[in-house]
Structure 1
């Protein structure tokens, strides 16, 4: 009898074809084997921790037991008698953002056991050597770094529709399933669970926090680094966008000696925040209804804060786009500023390369670390741990980014919104789990996710004081990626240690 896949039949199209072959499902891609290796971390004060690093592909399934895909996870789990009680040992799930970003940066740069050391605002050489990370979370928690599906080594199964997981809600559901799968595979059912997200990863955190609770898994702590909760301020002309940017502009002008000479950087940043709240906000919401003399008076005050000329600010109606600021603050030096960290600079482009979309994507603060981080991460995974992986590590997938579904249904709302606001998810999850704690980290030079907007978004939730007491805020000198700032990491490390020391007991 002939094999079904080779049997030719007459199709509806009227031609003979191999129908069964055409109807066959796409073949599954070969999944690399798990790799593990034992290491010893050496801390700055002589402390040592033996730990096992495991690089693995964790399968995740939907409710109908259909394979969604495999999530790449790198775990660093402490060993020894001191860490034997895994029921009491926290495990923190970490990720970057994008959307479309893998999680190599928060590992090799930020919270992992090894790191690429920073060199301030200097561009890192591609062959920058790794070292034991003096600021790692490993003393406080075991760590699991997860690549989002379609990024890094994580793959959506060939027979599954990627659009179901490339969006605010689908992504959070996939991550929740991935976390549960890791806890199950490693028999860590009772371990205190923490979430650590950066950038879009903070938006993911808020939804995963809620979704895990709905699936019966409690979260003990949520750490938000470089936070964005409400995407409305990124819409063109939104007043909250301009209000959030002013303190960043002020801190940047202070750094380059264009404003606030001799004033402490945090004092200058806070002065700008206060000015936004009390002077700028009531002025900017009036638009061209603001009388000309008041416009000029506000512009003069703004000029003192951000280092741009009064006439220039009046001409722009007090509304300064980030790219406008980046191009103009150091224009007389022929330089342009970074976006993730406005202290980074590069040489200005020629006018012929003046395309706004191109310029918005150019960022010396990203260029300065990206290649060094990817190179180091590949060496760690492949040369040190022995993971085979795939031919390409997708550190930043623009396909995932461009195909992202931003629609989100916040709890308690009537339906999906095209512009997501996950602050409501955060508040709902905290109301359901009032012993959980939340920690927000912000940087005064972060123009991607301004700290003023975080405070503004949380203030609009009108949480009761008992829940507000579960939340803490810390602002540092860094830009978007705190691990590129040695001073910020030094300040964050004891704050994180204290956060974990409190466990999940309410104050």
Structure 2
């Protein structure tokens, strides 16, 4: 869940390179506490699953056996499930880079979650309840915190640059997955990956890397995906193309455009408009005749609810901060970024500079404090006592200086500074044509727009047999699909189908109808 661009901005002007900044800020954690387990029961709608929750650390070691770090995990394993090897195990994480896995756990697919309240901010105490859409119904779950996030720690003397980058991050997760499978006797279980946001970058590289280490991945869930990092680069026309349908959906939601239209049809029409009309206009640049530019500005105004004059001043390229500030400016409100349906009061003029505004998001403020408190109560329930502070996000020490360079697979060792990890995904699918991939997105996600994910996969030119292994699902939600409870219900059904499990079949042996 996290915002790479915000992290980049926060690191600028620090008197040194971002890489120097985050190494200098690298922290060392005290010795890790003993792991703890508790036997718990999940119940919902007449179903019941007994499971063991375990919180602890996994040693991440190099090929030579030296300690690289200790990765914190919180695992949920169903009890009495018959042949444990036949039951899938899913490794889950958020993104950032620099985010711990709390949101996707107690916010989303874990057995316990915090009840949300639509697009309203949650008040304390937050209500934590058995999650009716938990993925535990289909798979055992292992939530992992990347090295340096949450309670995960780097080994004393280990160079952070070896873990805080596209390559090193995937390597550390591959080693942690190998270690967990070994320690828990789960070699042979179907292995799934579930990543959100930057976690989808990790997923794509990890699918290829695990295959190279002879660990087959049965499936991967890509929630709120980013594959081609060019879309995150300043001035990228691909970024404006991806954002247009999200702008249109948001304008319709707030009644600034598309009044009376169907939500799905309005978004789909904006997707088509982006490709067939908006893209040629952007490609023309200043070669676009003035009359055509004015005409395009008027058409965009009808779609995204901003004035034609503002759109023309932006040369048809409305950046996200401008859109967030402008759509509801007459009401004194600004939009969220992860979910543009969330709003907050506009900042004071003296507080409205680019960096603080980019790092402020009502859709995060509404839920993350409640998640943090609920997660800490949950650890106490399990009997695990960690350090007083568990940072949900570590942008200041990790995200700012993340090494985004990546060796493009099959391209003669070429290293790209703005990688397209969809190529890793293509390699992984060709090596393992039995694997399946689910790409999930939200119409109101302005952090990782859905159009870009669809576009990136379409440019892999997969043969039909492999293209059919990739499914797309679009929901009426933002970046964190699980915040929206109607979406969470749909997500639970779609994941059940993805895992090859009918809604009323395939329960673990410990599950019974009341």
Scaled by the length of structure 1, what TM-score is found?
A: 0.92
Pick aligned residue for 1:238 from 232, 236, 239: 236
Query: Is 2:120 the counterpart of 1:122?
Result: yes
| Shift in Å, 1:28 | 9.1
| Structure 2 equivalent of residue 387 of structure 1 | 384
Instruction: Return 5+ residue gaps in structure 2 as ranges.
Output: 1-26, 503-514
Quote the residue 1:418 is aligned against: 417
Between the aligned partners of 1:274 and 1:115, the Cα distance in structure 2 is 37
1:27 CA drift (Å): 10
| Shift in Å, 1:487 | 1.6
Shift in CA distance, 286/62, structure 1 to aligned 2, threshold 3 Å: same
2:154 matched residue in structure 1: 156
Kindly indicate whether the alpha-carbon contact (under 8 Å) linking 1:336 and 1:346 is maintained by their aligned counterparts in 2. Answer: yes
Asked if the contact 2:257/2:302 (under 8 Å) is kept, the reply is: yes
Q: Give the corresponding residue for 2:509.
A: none
- Contact in 2 for aligned 1:28/1:157 (Cα 8 Å): no
Secondary structure of the equivalent of 2:255? coil
Q: Is the radius of gyration larger for structure 1 or structure 2?
A: 1
Name the SS for the 2:85 alignment partner: coil
Deviation at 1:125, TM superposition (A): 1.4
- Are 2:51 and 1:51 aligned? yes
Query: For the Cα contact (< 8 Å) 1:95–1:145, is it kept in 2?
Result: yes
1:63 Cα deviation after fit: 1.0
Contact 1:165 1:171 in 2 (8 A): yes
Q: TM-score, normalised by structure 2?
A: 0.91
Tell me by how many angstroms 1:394 deviates. Answer: 1.8
Pick from 358, 361, 368 the counterpart of residue 360 of structure 1: 358
Which moved further from structure 2: 261-270 or 88-97?
261-270
**Partner residue, 1:41:** 42
Match of 1:210 in 2: 208
State how far apart, in whole Å, the 2-side matches of 1:28 and 1:496 are: 36
What residue in structure 2 maps to residue 459 of structure 1?
Answer: 458
- C-alpha distance in 1, partners of 2:136/2:391? 26
**Structure with more relative contact order (C-alpha pairs < 8 Å, separation 6 or more):** 2
> Does structure 2 retain, via aligned residues, the 8 Å contact 1:221–1:438?
yes
Aligned residue-pair number: 474
What does residue 90 of structure 2 align with? 92
Aligned to 1:13: none
How far the C-alpha of 1:403 sits from its partner, in A, is 2.6
- How far apart are 1:390 and its partner, in Å? 2.0
1:248 maps to what in 2? 246
The equivalent of 2:6 in structure 1 is none
- Match status 1:198 vs 2:196: yes
Contact residue 29 and residue 158 of structure 1 kept, 8 A: no
RMSD of aligned C-alpha atoms? 1.3
Q: How far apart, CA to CA, are the structure 1 residues paired with 2:216 and 2:232?
A: 32
Checking the alignment, whether the CA contact within 8 Å between 2:28 and 2:154 is kept in structure 1 is no
Structure 1 unaligned regions, length at least 5: 1-25
Instruction: Output the CA distance in 2 between the equivalents of 1:502 and 1:136.
Output: 14
Whole-angstrom CA distance in 2 between matches of 1:410 and 1:391: 41
Offset of residue 84 of structure 1: 1.9
| Cα distance, 1:354 vs structure 2 | 2.3
Structure 1 equivalent of residue 492 of structure 2? 493
Deviation of 1:30 (Å): 2.0
- Partner SS state of residue 490, structure 2: helix
